[in-house]
Chain A
Amino acid sequence: MEDVRMKEGLSACMNCGVCTAVCPAAAFYNYDPRQIVSIVQTRDDEAIEELLKSEEIWYCGECMSCRPRCPRGNTPGYVIQALRTLSQKLGYFVESEKGRQQLALKRTVGDNILRTGYCLVPTAIKPELHPEQGTVWRWIFDHDQEIYPQYSEAYNKSGSGALRRTSDETLEELRRIFDITGGTEMFDSIERFSDQKAKQMGYEGADEEYFLDVYTRNSNEHY
């Protein structure tokens, strides 16, 4: 693996488990970053391939709490990032329930970026998909044109300020950056592998129904 995060994230793990002790994902899921680092360290191709198809590599929250605490200066969170990137490149992510969720992330955050210049915008945080956002968010969502302009004259318009409309020229620059640096390729490969998997699973393809499936399905076998 050529990913620099693999070089930065891992050298001579001594299996002490400090990373697991501070890890919020380990507190919630049946997840052990120590074990992942240990498997990667063996350089056993078969075991690594299994990891790339597993649920485990998708549990980490990338909080990096493990980084300052590891006595060997490792960062299991970086190792996870490198594994996830590879899993998506090879199409292995669709082999796990949590991995298949990458489609939902691409279709929400990923597409928002290229469409609006932001990872999120108020109109995309739909209360029916976000009941946890509460009653005040619903009120904001229903009255965005009344509320945001009080804090930003440029709301949805050109100019400086919060949630200003990103110009077409800027969006075009972003798109070219994505094209040249592998971002577009990553998006396309997530879509392509998801579409194949969706068909295997009996959907017509990676359509809205499949999206909602991966976005909401929880087998409850992760704890």
Chain B
Amino acid sequence: MKRSSWTDYQKEIADNDYYYARSCIRQNFFPGSEKVFLSILGKDLGRNIYDDPLHTSCTGIGYHSDVVPLETIMTVVARQFALMNEAGYENFTSSCITSFGIYTELLATWEEFPEMLDKTRENLYKATGREFKIPKNLAHTSDVIFHHREEIAQKAKRKLVNAYTGEPLRVVEHIGCHYAKIFPKKGVGGSEFPYVLAGMVESWGGEIVDYPERRHCCGFGFRNYLVQANRGYSIANSHKKLESMAPQKPDFIVCNCPGCSMFLDKWQYTIAEMEGTTYGQNGQGIPVLTYEEMAGLILGYDPWADLGMQMHQVDVEPLLDKLGIEYDPAAKYLGRNGKYIGKPEAALINGCSEDRLYKINR
């Protein structure tokens, strides 16, 4: 297959007027990414996006842990669509890959088995008195950023370029299985050559670096992470990916799915604590970014106050330095009224020898 074959899978992405559905995982681990996404759309791009307080989890993690039945999740999803209709919108954008996969799967199931669509309508009406229409456009929030990537490039304060050397930053991406493996035609670039993140990186001056396990799962595996006894599965699969990308010496990892972003960040901590291995330069980890963080940094958002990147386990400062971003190191651990709230205990992955010394001297 040719390198350009992503163009065989071009999906339509609405240009404006989005109904925004938050993600359980993203709002937990990357609330700054959700905040900045809304700001990029609204303030930087002048688009209209609605942040509805009434929607809930799609229940997708429960569905893929098999405790939530198919008919139940169908009806919960139908309720989200009804809320979108009631708010006067028809373009649905979801901040989560698990949800996005579910929306694509259910829309396809309803098309193929119309009796299930009828049943869902009936269930929703009985349970809530609501009715719904199928969205005109369904996009993951990364699709929306991808769609506006050139406009973002024009407004950017900096590029994904190493400020010391002038070379493009080396970026590895991880797409998240449910983005395009369920319905390849619903993802930019399909499942073999997903282009949604690579397109952003290229438009913003970085260089995408290939690695052998690029399409491998991050290892979430739902019940395989959620139940403590099974976590070996999860860390083993992340380990496989990290081992495979490390020789490429990436400057950072960018992820599509909030779960993958969290796992590739946290498992680097665990692997370092368990066996002393670190994958980044200078004995530290490889910073893992969400695409909102990547977009936010080039647009000039503050890494702490806006993007909340202090919530990562792997320190992002080496990357901020490479990008030539000026930031206040002391502002990293401030609470909401600007007061210092103490900092996390140092860990091997952070390579914080000073902290370790501090602890020893104390």
Binding between chains A and B: yes
A interface vs B, CB < 8 Å?
3-5, 8, 24-25, 27-29, 58, 60-65, 67-68, 81, 84-85, 88, 98, 101-102, 104-106, 108-110, 113, 117-122, 125, 129, 132-140, 143, 145-152, 154, 158-164, 166-167, 170, 173-174, 176-183, 186-187, 190, 214-218
Q: How far is the CB of B343 from chain A (nearest CB, A)?
A: 7
B contact residues around A216 at 8 Å (CB): 228-229
A contact residues around B27 at 8 Å (CB): 118, 152, 162-163
A contact residues around B72 at 8 Å (CB): 177-178, 181-183, 186
User: For the complex, what is the distance from the CA of A163 to the CA of B27, rounded to whole Å?
Assistant: 6
Q: Nearest 3 CB-CB pairs, A to B?
A: A61-B221, A146-B335, A183-B72
Q: How far is the CB of B219 from chain A (nearest CB, A)?
A: 7
Question: At the interface with chain A, which of B60-68, B151-159, B242-250?
Answer: B60-68
Indicate whether B252 reaches chain A with its CB closer than 8 angstroms.
no
A contact residues around B22 at 8 Å (CB): 162
Residue of B72, B74, B345 contacting most chain A CB atoms (<10 Å): B72
Interface of A is mostly: helix
A contact residues around B228 at 8 Å (CB): 129, 215-216
A contact residues around B270 at 8 Å (CB): 132, 134
Indicate whether B322 reaches chain A with its CB closer than 8 angstroms.
no
Q: How far is the CB of B247 from chain A (nearest CB, A)?
A: 20
Asked whether B341 lies within 8 Å of A143 as measured between CB atoms, the reply is yes
Interface of B is mostly: helix
Asked whether B53 lies within 8 Å of A64 as measured between CB atoms, the reply is no
Asked whether A134 lies within 8 Å of B56 as measured between CB atoms, the reply is no
User: For the complex, what is the distance from the CA of A24 to the CA of B218, rounded to whole Å?
Assistant: 9
Q: With A29-B233, A62-B64, A181-B71 as given contacts, are A24 and B217 in contact (CB-CB < 8 Å)?
A: yes
Please give the number of chain B residues whose Cβ is less than 8 angstroms from any Cβ of chain A in the complex. Answer: 91
Contact bitstring B318-358, A, C-beta under 8 A = 1, else 0 = 00000000000000000110000111111101000000000
User: For the complex, what is the distance from the CA of A136 to the CA of B359, rounded to whole Å?
Assistant: 17
Indicate whether B32 reaches chain A with its CB closer than 8 angstroms.
yes
Asked whether B335 lies within 8 Å of A176 as measured between CB atoms, the reply is no
A contact residues around B124 at 8 Å (CB): 177
Q: With A67-B181, A68-B191, A134-B270 as given contacts, are A177 and B127 in contact (CB-CB < 8 Å)?
A: yes
Q: How far is the CB of A59 from chain B (nearest CB, A)?
A: 8
Asked whether A181 lies within 8 Å of B69 as measured between CB atoms, the reply is yes
Residue of B59, B267, B312 contacting most chain A CB atoms (<10 Å): B59
Q: How far is the CB of B307 from chain A (nearest CB, A)?
A: 9
Asked whether A28 lies within 8 Å of B56 as measured between CB atoms, the reply is no
Asked whether A135 lies within 8 Å of B345 as measured between CB atoms, the reply is yes
21 example contacts (A-B, Cβ-Cβ < 8 A) are as follows: A28-B233, A28-B236, A60-B221, A63-B221, A68-B184, A85-B69, A101-B227, A109-B67, A118-B56, A138-B344, A139-B342, A147-B308, A150-B335, A151-B308, A167-B53, A167-B54, A177-B79, A177-B123, A177-B127, A181-B75, A182-B69
